[in-house]
Amino acid sequence: MDYTWAHFFNKINRFIIAKNIPMFYKTFKSFTNRYGDQSTSNFDSMKIAKDIGKDFYKQFRVVMRDELHDIPNHVKYIICNNQDSNSAGSHWTAVFRDKAKAFVFDSYGRAPSDDIIDFLDYTNERYYSTFVLQSNQQFCGQVSMWVLYNLFKGKDYFDIILNLKETISKIYEL
């Protein structure tokens, strides 16, 4: 039987998932190849967080905007929906925080909501991107997770956003 590189890659990928070994993605395209580029639910985000690894998962939450203040202080990586708990949800935003700084990413390039600003009030420095990386696509959850994943890997927030802008522009012709 002939085996291709894709066959071996699929076997390794299944082994990594079965053994709960953290996933590593080099490009946003490889990330969306795995998780899709359509609308996500809170359950989808939790699955991605588990795939990234238990160190990430322990510091991660998915919330609606009115649940932000219920998040424990040790949580650094947050996917926040623009809607309240009593709504169906509409758009995901990535929030990273530690004691010194915070990063907020919205794929529509919008400034953080008042709820997010209030939540991040104790941080010294707050940054957000005004780049519009999504027009009619439905991948706000995946893009937000990609940003948090790269922050977890120690990459610079501004480099992540610039690389993402370039990549998405090529893939989706924005």
Give the CA distances from residue 97 to residues 53, 137, 166, in Å, rounded to whole numbers and listed in that order: 19, 27, 25
* Amino acid 37: pLDDT: 81
The answer as to whether 42 is a domain residue is yes
pTM: 0.81
Question: How far is C-alpha 120 from the geometric centre of its chain's CA atoms?
Answer: 18
Task: Dump pLDDT digits (tens) for 126-169.
Answer: 898 888 887 777 888 999 999 999 999 999 999 999 888 888 88
What's the pLDDT at 8?
A: 46
117-124, long-range: CB < 8 A, 24+ apart: 118/68, 118/69, 119/68, 119/69, 119/71, 119/95, 120/95, 123/97, 123/98, 123/99, 124/99, 124/100
In a domain, 20, yes or no: no
Could you tell me which of 51, 79, 52, 57 has the C-alpha nearest to residue 141? 79
Q: Which amino acid is at 101?
A: K
Residue 54 lies in a domain: yes
What was the pLDDT predicted at 18? 44
Tell me whether residue 109 is in a domain: yes
147 occurs within a structural domain? yes
In sequence order, the β-bridge partners of residue 33 are none
Inside any domain, residue 12: no
- The domain tally of the chain equals 1
Measured distance CA(118)–CA(139) in Å, rounded: 26
pLDDT at 10: 53
What is the b/e burial string over 10-44, where b = at least 16 CB atoms within 10 angstroms of the residue's CB? eeeeeeeeeeeebbebeebeebbeebebebbebeb
Q: Tell me, what's the pLDDT at 112? A: 92
Predicted confidence (pLDDT) at residue 28 exceeds the cutoff of 70: yes
Q: What is the pLDDT of residues 29-48, one digit of tens each?
A: 888 888 888 878 889 999 99
Range of the domain at 77: 25-172
pLDDT higher than 50, residue 109: yes
Mean pLDDT, range 56-75, rounded to an integer: 94
Here the CATH number for the domain that contains residue 92 is 3.40.395.10
Q: Is residue 4 part of a domain?
A: no
